[in-house]
Amino acid sequence: MSKKEDKTKSSKKRKLEDDAEELEIDLSAETPLSKKQKRLIKKGKLEKRPEPKIKTVQEEEEEAKKANEKSEKSKFGVWIGNLSFDTTKEDLIRFIIGKTNLKEDIITRVNIPKKGNQIKGFAYIDVQNEDQVNEIIELSEQHLNGRNLLIKNVTSFEGRPEKDEQKSNSISSLPPSKILFVGNLSFDTSEDNLKEHFQHCGDISRIRMATFQDTGKCKGFAFIDFKNEKSSINAMNSKVAKMLLNRKLRLEYGEDRSKRRPKSHMRDESSESTDSSREVSSYGEDNTYNSISQSHNQNQVPIPHPQPKKIYRERQEKPQQRPKSSVALASAQRASAAIVPSSGKKITFD
């Protein structure tokens, strides 16, 4: 390589380094408009954002002081929901000032909760008095960034489920038992995972997990049999037992079938009671017969009464099955296909 080529390459590298040093990124700048927002602005459904003003160092310092002063939470506030994920603090302030007669000074605090770098879809705005709160609430169901806003008072909790309802949803409909039903399991769950997860609640006698026949993996639910009811109650009340393998489990008390009384047992008891009543009646008749015979013939040996006969239930005959249509039609009488002459009388009207 020649010396000229080396000089040109070194000069290019220096220029690139100088350009890289001069690059500056303004993190406080607003997010650029999306394609959807640009289309809405063209159709007139979305207000244009005013061009940002260049602020001096003194103005920025004053704004920072005001922000620190306004950071205290006020008693009067508004909750705004159904926000677009591109909504910023400036958008909310501009929306309130443009739609009402209020000024920017009345807003003491704007809190937009975020999850990572994205907002959660709602915000809190604090003002100075209740009249200002009512004026902002009237803006509910109006558009901002293509979405209808829902505005409520911070002290209003309408639409939220009550604590009693939340408790009733978490409690099982069945009474407490030794058996615990575990649902919403991952297909990769094993019996060892369940044993390790629930062993802190109490002694486990066995685990019955539903599995697929071909793969042997979990079907998504299982039954855990504890040695006492206290262990299953501990599992229901435990916050640690509610999650397994990053999945929220559905826990309910299972039905203890050992406490159930089978119907066949009830039938046997009813049949025994009827048999015993019949036996008593037969014994009564025999005793009266023996007492009469003994009164007539005292010298004769008493006749032993016969043993009661066992009564068997008559087996119900099964209803006869209906014959198939092909068998029934085979034995049916065949009708002739000839034309049958009419046997009626012809009636004429004058």
In a domain, 177, yes or no: yes
Residue 281 lies in a domain: no
3-state secondary structure the chain: CCHHHHHHHHHHHHHHHHHHHHCCCCCCCCCCCCHHHHHHHHHCCCCCCCCCCCCCHHHHHHHHHHHHHHCCCCCEEEEEECCCCCCCHHHHHHHHHHHCCCCHHHCCEEECCEECCEECCCEEEEECCHHHHHHHHCCCCCEECCEECEEEECCCCCCCCCHHHHHHHHCCCCCCCCEEEEECCCCCCCHHHHHHHHCCCCCEEEEEEEECCCCCCEEEEEEEEECCHHHHHHHHHCCHHHEECCEECEEEECCCHHHCCCHHHHHHHHHHHHHHHHHHHHHHHHHHHHHHHHHHCCCCCCCCCCCCCCCCCCCCCCCCCCCCHHHHHHCCCCCCCCCCCCCCCCCCCC
pLDDT at 191: 93
- 84 and 132 inside one domain: yes
Instruction: Provide the pLDDT for residue 59.
Output: 76
Residue 106 lies in a domain: yes
Q: Is 300 a domain residue?
A: no
Say what the pLDDT of residue 203 is: 93
Tens of pLDDT along 130-184? Answer: 898 899 999 988 989 888 999 999 888 776 655 544 444 445 678 888 999 999 9
pLDDT at res. 204: 94
Identify the residue with better confidence: 331 or 200: 200
pLDDT band at 35 (very low <50, low <70, confident <90, very high): confident
Is 58 within a domain?
Answer: no
What percentage of the chain has pLDDT greater than the value 90? 25
Mean pLDDT of 92-105: 89
Identify the top-confidence range among 14-28, 117-131, 289-303: 117-131
Same domain? For 190 and 232 the reply is yes
Looking at the fold, whether 143 and 191 belong to one and the same domain comes out as no
> Nearest-5° angle of CA 99, CA 28, CA 154?
45
Residue at 135 is within a domain: yes
**Residue 213 shares a structural domain with residue 156:** no
Final residue before a domain boundary, out of 109, 135, 162? 162
78 and 155 belong to one structural domain: yes
147 shares a domain with 199 = no
| 189: confidence class by pLDDT, cuts 50, 70, 90 | very high
Are residue 176 and residue 158 in the same domain, yes or no?
Answer: no
pLDDT at 315: 53
Between residues 5 and 331, which one has the greater pLDDT? 331
Cβ-in-10-Å burial (0-12, 13-18, 19+) of 153 comes to middle
Q: Where is average pLDDT lowest: 3-7, 31-35, 146-150?
A: 3-7
For the chain, the average pLDDT equals 76
* Domain limits for position 192: 172-254
The last residue of one of the domains, among 209, 235, 254, is 254
Range with the largest mean pLDDT of 35-44, 212-221, 288-297: 212-221
Domain count, the chain: 2
Give yes or no: residues 146 and 181 share one domain. Answer: no
Task: Report the CATH number at residue 113.
Answer: 3.30.70.330
Q: Please say which residue of 107, 140, 162 terminates a domain.
A: 162
Which of 218, 137, 147 lies closest to 185, judged by CA? 218
Q: What is the mean pLDDT of residues 320-349?
A: 72
CB atoms within 10 A of CB 133: 22
Does residue 156 sit in the same domain as residue 210? Answer: no
Q: Is residue 337 part of a domain?
A: no
Q: Is the domain of 196 the same as that of 141?
A: no
Residues 123 and 195 in one domain: no
Quick one: 225 and 144 in the same domain?
Answer: no
What is the per-residue pLDDT across 264-307, written as a single tens digit (0 to 9) for each? Answer: 555 555 555 555 555 444 444 444 444 444 444 455 555 555 56
Could you tell me what percent of the chain has a pLDDT over 70?
Answer: 60
Does residue 238 form part of some domain? yes
Of the pLDDT bands very low, low, confident and very high (cuts 50, 70, 90), residue 260 is low
Using 50, 70 and 90 to split pLDDT, how confident is the model at 54? low
